[in-house]
Structure 1
Amino acid sequence: MTDATFDEYDDEDEAGGGRRRTLSNTQLLGYIWRHWTAEPRRFAMAAGIFLTATFCDLAIPWAVKDLMDAVSRTRDADLAWKAWGLLSGLYAAYYLLRSTGFRLLNGFYARIMERIVTQGFSRVQSYSSDWHASNFAGATVRKVSRAMWGYDSASDALLLMLMPTLIVLGGLAVSMGVRWPLVGLFVAVLVGFFAVYNVLMAKYFTQPANQLSNRLDSSIGAALADAIGGNPVVKSFGAEAREEQRFAEVVARWRRSVIRTWNRFNLTGIGQNLMLIALQAGLTGMLLNAWTKGQATAGDVAFAITSFMLMAGYMRNFSEITRMLQKGLDDSLDVAVFMRTPPQLADKPGAPVFRGEMGEIVFDKVTFGYENQPAALYRDFSLRIAPGERVALVGPTGSGKSTFVKLVQRLYDVQGGRILIDGQDISAVRQGTLRRAIAVVPQDPALFHRTIAENIAYGRPEATADEIELAARRARAHDFIAGLPKGYQTLVGERGVKLSGGERQRVAIARAFLADAPILVLDEATSSLDVETERQVQAAMEELMVGRTTIVIAHRLSTIRSADRILVFDRGRVVEEGRHGELVGAGGAYARLHAVTEGAA
């Protein structure tokens, strides 16, 4: 697959910022630290337990030295048994403390992972419709779910592996330096070089490759969701083989990248092993040389060998530590970026709830344009819709009809002017409360893979079964629902695929009935219905519109004959307005649209 075609699966931006954002390892470590310290007492207890266990491990070479000296020099049985008891006690304490620490960490980690994924989901939910339109759902799902496991890997690497490694290596270097300055200096220099080598290799050699692998991993989720979501289209064109090939190319690109990443980790490990060989040869050789000169005992040599084995065990894991840590940080990157990037349409601090029951809508000198368009769609646009008025919006594609409704819902912020509903500036109130006052029935209703009852009650989850059934009856949906094996408890499938287009439309209309909002938006709400059902639903909608401000987006002009006012849009302007008969008689833009649609009918 070429870079150009791969870009189809690459998000346009990380969090609505336009360009891909990244964070340094230091910033990512700060992100993990904030999660740790959200429960300071539990974190301090866990860290203290593992710290104590590490000091037990650090003391083992000295206990071995005492035991060997007692056996080889003094031949004092009591002293030997005491040394044996100390060594055995250190081992027992080490394993007991670690087991206790792991038990404490289980709940601590699980709560943090829960918090990471729920906060990530909440932040993604808060992003604008434009952001969601620019980012693949499959890639976003992958990023959010991957972040909690990234935290798990990074935390294990830091708390359970890196911290003990640094304490043991540093502690042994210092304790050796006190007794044998040259040996301590040799160990300290080699350990320091080892640490610097790993940090530099992680930052400049393995991290870039690993981050690219993660992006390609996200592209797998994006490509998979794109193809599965469009499966009906794939089948209708018999394009299964083509989609399989397309997906295989995305996976193949990931495979090449992840092999390169793993090879870089392996090359880093080769350098680590060479330094381990140098440590073994140098440490044991220097103590053996001291023994030959009578400057060290057999216990000292045993101490050197035990110290090397202990240090080698930790250092040998350093490759795994750096790999786990870097991968964990990289896996956490996307959600960490999300959490640092505020929503594009944020509520103002202390914003009040929206309180409106009349449904008056006023556009006051509104200027608005989409980011990807060179010119503004609306310029100083003003319009008033009276409470309870039924207004139809007509006009060619791109004329501004759908944008009008999106602005009323505050899915975008205007660049100039203001929009008032019942006298309240919608940019100053809480978005959730505003949108709950607007019931929308779209042309292609999206249902959740939940029961029919849950989908109807989505706007009023506290609704009773009787209220749900009444809404379905008014939407002419009860009969087909009652005929299903599980009735209102039938699962509708992802996006409602188990229902026909007309059935989905009627469930969406029932949802609008139950929401009982003062403003109603109908976007070709009867477009998927047969003629007989359309008549029935139209009658039900006439009842629903009574006493509510209604905005109807229409392409079939026959559905808006009863509108109080028809607004004809063209390039973000209202070029004509009036009732159906008046506009047809005027012989203008609406009359021409009417002639075309009537002729097509």
Structure 2
Amino acid sequence: MTDHYEDSDENKPRVLNNRQVLGYLAGYWRRRPALLWITVVMTVVAIGFDLSVPWAAGKLVDIVAAGPKALDAAWRAWGLLAVCYGLGLILRNTAMRAWIPFAAANMKEIIDESFEKVQSFSADWHADTFAGATVRRLSRAMWGYDTVSDAAVIWLGPAFLVLTGLCVTLGLRWPEVGAFAAVVVAAFVASNIWLTELYARPSNLKAVALDSRIGGALADSLSSNATVKAFGAERREEGRIGEVTTLWRKAASVSWNRFTNLWLLHNLLLVVLQAGMTGILVVLWSKGQARAGDIAYVITAFMLMTGYLRNIGDNIRMTQRGLDDIEDVARYSQMDPQVMDVEGAKPFHAGRGEIIFDRVTFRYKSAARPLYDRFGLMIEPGERVALVGPTGSGKSTFVKLIQRLYDVEDGRILIDGQDVAHVTQGSLRRAIAVVPQDPALFHRTLAENIAYGRPGATQEDIFEAARRARAHEFITRLPKGYDTLVGERGVKLSGGERQRVAIARAFLADAPVLVLDEATSSLDVETERQVQAAMEELMVGRTTIVIAHRLSTIRGSDRILVFDDGRVVEEGAHKELVASGGHYARLHAVTEGWA
């Protein structure tokens, strides 16, 4: 079961390296140079005051060691130490005032642009990818950006400057101390970077992937809660979630233990640094080559170094985790949408709804041979055409191709004389209203769901569309009327109520092409009559394509197309096809008990 909540093979990630992910982040850092430079400059100046603290501390100790007769000088030295430390803090706070709007704006744009990118991917991509896992990746990326950016600009960059400055100043006064400190600091930083990349990252990537799988598993179960309850399967679902979280727990434990091992190693290096630096100064003091203030200088420098080195260690590990959290979204940014607008694509101009399939060849990505092979068909403006045939015969594919959810291999599809491959996808789909078998509504109000067909519709427009869809009466009976929230995917409404909301949305969209996909197949007789009456009104003046298994719903069609294996094997009116004794007549004979 471990594969149930993973993406399909086509969507499994090609892991980017750290440099590629950092390149993705750098694109956001460059967007607001003024705020970035204010942060950097203020931080660098604050670092200068940090570097002066050991010097000021050593000066104070030397003066105090001379006795009370230097009281005034001691107070001046004390004031200097306080000013150096205080100004450093004030400047860092000022830097954060610029950093906060910089980070917040970039985090917003990461979510916005990643969502836009994911929306541009094809219907196939979304069918192969768990929505819950994708949501997890997007939200992790936003916080991963925060972690990496804070580490790079607020912690790691300043830490490297401070440590370099301290090693240089120590080396100028005591070459052996400076050299020892530089070697240990270099070993600390290099081993952190190298071991985090090679030792800790592989296990962390596994834990991150399993975190995404948890999102997919939770979304899968929660979105199907009605089915779970219907079968009393709560304990079973809890067990399935438990299996996924157990895998994550094991992977996360390995990852965290490896990071903890690195933490221990690097803290031992800090012990070596402390012992070595102070030991060398004690030797120099014993030879009369160092004063009490010098030892205070080195101890203060070590304490400053320790703080920054611990920050470096922690932030390198946090940075790696952040980079791993961002990696999925950085990879999305490099992916081209599977169905793209061509360069110079123009908006679709809706006409009367003429549809032409001109020698169209199309195959699904996993198919050995084309479903459609040089397929040709013409639907007249305003014509009502029904598509019937067995599952997999090409009916739903026909509709998906006119919406350009897929690109054809050869040939072209024209609507009102315009090649669907040469117009913008959004404008094309707005000209085709679809009422599906099981309409998926948003967890928003009924008014918002109906108005989705035409943004900016007035309240009266919404009411009128609902009346024409035979939905107004049931909506007004609800306690909150049109302000009623419908639940996720419209779960608070019955099937017939959802169907009528979808029809109201189609009325409001007022598109020249209408697709009714099994729109009454799951309704009771009384509800079907209401929905059928609404659909009859909706079809007036529009080119209508009806996909149906229940032949009773299509007898009034101008033309019925019988599909089989990607070909139209029969076409004509209902009575003609029944009389011909072919495929349609056999379907009619099977279903005449309820047709």
Pairwise same-fold verdict (TM > 0.5): yes
> Does residue 1:37 correspond to 2:30, yes or no?
yes
1:315 is displaced (CA, Å) by 1.3
Q: Give the SS at the match of 2:568.
A: strand
Q: Give the SS at the match of 2:193.
A: helix
Corresponding residue for residue 389 of structure 1: 383
Letter of the 2:286 counterpart: T
Q: Give the SS at the match of 2:171.
A: helix
CA contact (8 A) 1:401 1:569 kept: yes
> Does residue 1:6 correspond to 2:37, yes or no?
no
1:238 is displaced (CA, Å) by 1.5
CA contact (8 A) 1:447 1:496 kept: yes
Query: Compared with structure 1, are the counterparts of its residues 116 and 311 closer, same or farther at alpha carbon in structure 2 (3 Å cutoff)?
Result: same
1:102 is displaced (CA, Å) by 2.1
Partners in 2 of 1:33 and 1:87 — Cα distance?
37
1:317 is displaced (CA, Å) by 2.6
Letter of the 1:303 counterpart: Y
Q: Give the SS at the match of 1:305.
A: helix
Corresponding residue for residue 454 of structure 1: 448
1:577 is aligned, of 544, 548, 571, to 571
> Does residue 1:280 correspond to 2:256, yes or no?
no
Q: Which moved more, 1:327-336 or 1:77-86?
A: 77-86
1:71 is displaced (CA, Å) by 3.0
Partners in 2 of 1:436 and 1:346 — Cα distance?
17
Partners in 2 of 1:18 and 1:524 — Cα distance?
30
Q: Give the SS at the match of 2:279.
A: helix
Q: Which moved more, 1:152-161 or 1:426-435?
A: 152-161
Partners in 1 of 2:238 and 2:71 — Cα distance?
75
Letter of the 1:54 counterpart: I
Partners in 1 of 2:76 and 2:335 — Cα distance?
60
Partners in 2 of 1:130 and 1:556 — Cα distance?
28
Letter of the 1:57 counterpart: D
Q: Which moved more, 1:161-170 or 1:391-400?
A: 161-170
Letter of the 2:55 counterpart: W
Query: Compared with structure 1, are the counterparts of its residues 489 and 185 closer, same or farther at alpha carbon in structure 2 (3 Å cutoff)?
Result: same
Corresponding residue for residue 253 of structure 1: 247
> Does residue 1:26 correspond to 2:19, yes or no?
yes
CA contact (8 A) 1:505 1:528 kept: no
Partners in 1 of 2:458 and 2:13 — Cα distance?
46
Q: Give the SS at the match of 2:205.
A: helix
CA contact (8 A) 1:557 1:594 kept: yes
1:593 is displaced (CA, Å) by 0.7
Alignment of 1:136-535 (within 5 A): 136-535=130-529
CA contact (8 A) 2:559 2:571 kept: yes
1:600 is displaced (CA, Å) by 5.2
Q: Give the SS at the match of 1:294.
A: coil
Matched residue count: 594
Alignment of 1:518-557 (within 5 A): 518-557=512-551
Partners in 2 of 1:18 and 1:222 — Cα distance?
14
Partners in 2 of 1:537 and 1:279 — Cα distance?
80
Q: Give the SS at the match of 2:478.
A: coil
Corresponding residue for residue 585 of structure 2: 591
Partners in 1 of 2:35 and 2:384 — Cα distance?
60
Partners in 2 of 1:7 and 1:152 — Cα distance?
31
CA contact (8 A) 1:265 1:319 kept: no
Partners in 2 of 1:234 and 1:201 — Cα distance?
45
1:409 is displaced (CA, Å) by 0.3
> Does residue 1:81 correspond to 2:75, yes or no?
yes
Q: Give the SS at the match of 2:3.
A: helix
State the identity %: 61
CA contact (8 A) 2:499 2:531 kept: no
Q: Give the SS at the match of 1:233.
A: helix
RMSD between aligned residues: 1.5
Letter of the 1:11 counterpart: D
1:350 is displaced (CA, Å) by 2.6
1:77 is displaced (CA, Å) by 4.2
1:18 is displaced (CA, Å) by 4.3
Letter of the 1:279 counterpart: L
Corresponding residue for residue 565 of structure 1: 559
Partners in 2 of 1:24 and 1:231 — Cα distance?
39
Query: Compared with structure 1, are the counterparts of its residues 576 and 540 closer, same or farther at alpha carbon in structure 2 (3 Å cutoff)?
Result: same
Partners in 2 of 1:244 and 1:533 — Cα distance?
37
Which digits, 9 at most, give the CA deviation of each residue in 1:328-381, with x for residues without a partner?
A: 111111111112212111212331111122111111111111112222111111
1:233 is displaced (CA, Å) by 1.3
Alignment of 1:104-119 (within 5 A): 104-119=98-113
Which digits, 9 at most, give the CA deviation of each residue in 1:38-93, with x for residues without a partner?
A: 10001110111112112211221111122222333596444433322221111110
Q: Which runs of 5+ in 1 are unaligned?
A: none
Which digits, 9 at most, give the CA deviation of each residue in 1:533-579, with x for residues without a partner?
A: 32333233222222211100010111111111111100101111111
1:236 is displaced (CA, Å) by 1.5
TM-score norm. by structure 2 comes to 0.97
Letter of the 1:72 counterpart: A
1:19 is displaced (CA, Å) by 4.2
TM-score norm. by structure 1 comes to 0.96
Letter of the 1:238 counterpart: G
Which digits, 9 at most, give the CA deviation of each residue in 1:509-531, with x for residues without a partner?
A: 11111110000000111223332
Corresponding residue for residue 55 of structure 1: 48
Partners in 2 of 1:454 and 1:269 — Cα distance?
53
1:479 is displaced (CA, Å) by 1.1
Q: Give the SS at the match of 2:352.
A: coil
Partners in 1 of 2:470 and 2:73 — Cα distance?
93
Query: Compared with structure 1, are the counterparts of its residues 452 and 18 closer, same or farther at alpha carbon in structure 2 (3 Å cutoff)?
Result: closer
CA contact (8 A) 1:389 1:548 kept: yes
CA contact (8 A) 1:53 1:93 kept: yes
1:123 is displaced (CA, Å) by 1.1
Which digits, 9 at most, give the CA deviation of each residue in 1:293-350, with x for residues without a partner?
A: 1222222111111111111111123332122111111111111111221211121233
Partners in 2 of 1:538 and 1:211 — Cα distance?
53
Letter of the 2:38 counterpart: M
CA contact (8 A) 1:448 1:496 kept: yes
Letter of the 2:24 counterpart: Y
Letter of the 2:127 counterpart: A
Q: Which runs of 5+ in 2 are unaligned?
A: none
